[in-house]
Amino acid sequence: MLTIYSDDHHLHHGRCELMDGQLMPCFEMPSRADHVLQRVRDRNLGPVQAPTDFGLAPLQRVHSRDYLDFFQGAWARWAASNLDGDLLPYTWPARTLRRVLPSSLHGQLGYYSFDGGAPITAGTWQAAYSAAQVALTAQQAIQHGAHSAFALCRPPGHHAASDLMGGYCYLNNAAIAAQAFLDQGHAKVAILDVDYHHGNGTQSIFYARSDVLFTSIHGHPEAEFPFFLGYADELGEGAGEGFNFNYPLPAGSGWERWSAALDSACDEIERYAADIVVVSLGVDTFKDDPISQFKLDSPDYLVMGSRIARLGKPTLFVMEGGYAVAEIGINAVNVLEGFETEGATQ
């Protein structure tokens, strides 16, 4: 399987995040992608290539121009104030407040974010931009006939909505790739989000549309981030009604319960008759993940990959979360190897 990877992810390294009342070093750190890349090489998964630059146009198909302009220019505005630290929001237009766009940097940052979990540093725009190009380059490989490809994106993307950053995410790599498939002639794309956290950004981008089926298996938002989206009764709206399926699971869920949800999601993808499957591949479902509560073990990820392969569809894997850094490479590459092994026997 071809892997697309850019060293630019090192340009993004947030200093701290607020967790359980304390400022902690960011769990979303550069060594995550380094470990995955090392495992790809150790297992001889296939060639590793740098991304092609497709420019801003495919990003603008998913994200609003004002959001992209704000994100691209935010660090320069912050640096001009000579403050030493990451740019982090602290006020949001929640209920009772007005959704107005202020002129101040911090006002605008609150407007364009939904939490304080997406620090902007000097290199964040470039890292996120390159991650989107990684996803688009892997998408192109499938567009040109590959059965599968792995976009080793960092920072991740599935929490980012059309004009909102949050949850370590800035640009929605999976959504940008899904939209590119549609723009290049495909009629139906299914997204399977297996990250521990609900892909709220992806859901919101496609919620009113029938050309993208969104399915997500995740920690129940009653108890887990992002709390305010990801419930089972969110089925889509308007033309998108019936094209959104959430499988929220309780803390402590292991492979048996998780894989039953995967079977259900795969049934929906088969019923939909998708042309292409885009997998938002987070491996923070792992039993030793420091911020998550599921109990999947490393061999389970091989089975996950083989189940996805049995869909028989061209499949783009897009890296999302996973914070047990020592095991992230093993678990992510296990999914890809399980997919390839199953595909070879079909």
Is 300 near Zn ion (CB under 5 A)?
no
- Per the CB < 8 A criterion, the answer to whether 320 and 280 are in contact is yes
Is 282 near Zn ion (CB under 5 A)?
yes
Q: φ and ψ at 216, to 5 degrees?
A: -145, 130
Stretch that binds Zn ion, among 1-9, 77-85, 313-321, 335-343 (CB under 5 A): 313-321
Q: Which is nearer to Zn ion, 284 or 342 (CB)?
A: 284
Question: Total residues at the site for Zn ion (CB under 5 A)?
Answer: 6
Q: Known catalytic residue: 186?
A: no
Stretch that binds Zn ion, among 80-88, 173-181, 192-200, 226-234 (CB under 5 A): 192-200
Q: In angstroms, give the least distance from the CB of 197 to Zn ion.
A: 4
Task: Say how far apart CA 273 and CA 100 lie, in whole Å.
Answer: 41
Is 284 near Zn ion (CB under 5 A)?
yes
Q: Which amino acid is at 59?
A: L
Is 159 near Zn ion (CB under 5 A)?
no
> Which whole-number Å values give the CA distances from 110 to 98, 107, 113, in the listed order?
12, 5, 5
Is 195 near Zn ion (CB under 5 A)?
yes
Task: For residue 103, give both structure tokens.
Answer: 């002129």
Q: Which of 35, 63, 158, 159 is catalytic?
A: 159
Q: In angstroms, give the least distance from the CB of 196 to Zn ion.
A: 5
- Per the CB < 8 A criterion, the answer to whether 269 and 311 are in contact is yes
Q: Is residue 286 helix, strand or coil?
A: strand
Angle between helices 124-143 and 65-79 (to 10 degrees): 150
Is 193 near Zn ion (CB under 5 A)?
no
Q: In angstroms, give the least distance from the CB of 35 to Zn ion.
A: 16
List, as one string, the DSSP characters of 105-171.
HHHHHHHTBSSS---B-TTHHHHHHHHHHHHHHHHHHHHTT-SEEEE--SS--TT-BTTBBBTTBSS
Is 236 near Zn ion (CB under 5 A)?
no
Return the residue of 71, 196, 245, 272 that touches Zn ion, per CB under 5 A: 196
Q: Which is nearer to Zn ion, 282 or 305 (CB)?
A: 282
Q: Which is nearer to Zn ion, 196 or 339 (CB)?
A: 196
Q: Give the residue numbers marked as catalytic.
A: 159
Which residues bind to Zn ion, rule: CB under 5 A? 195-197, 282, 284, 321
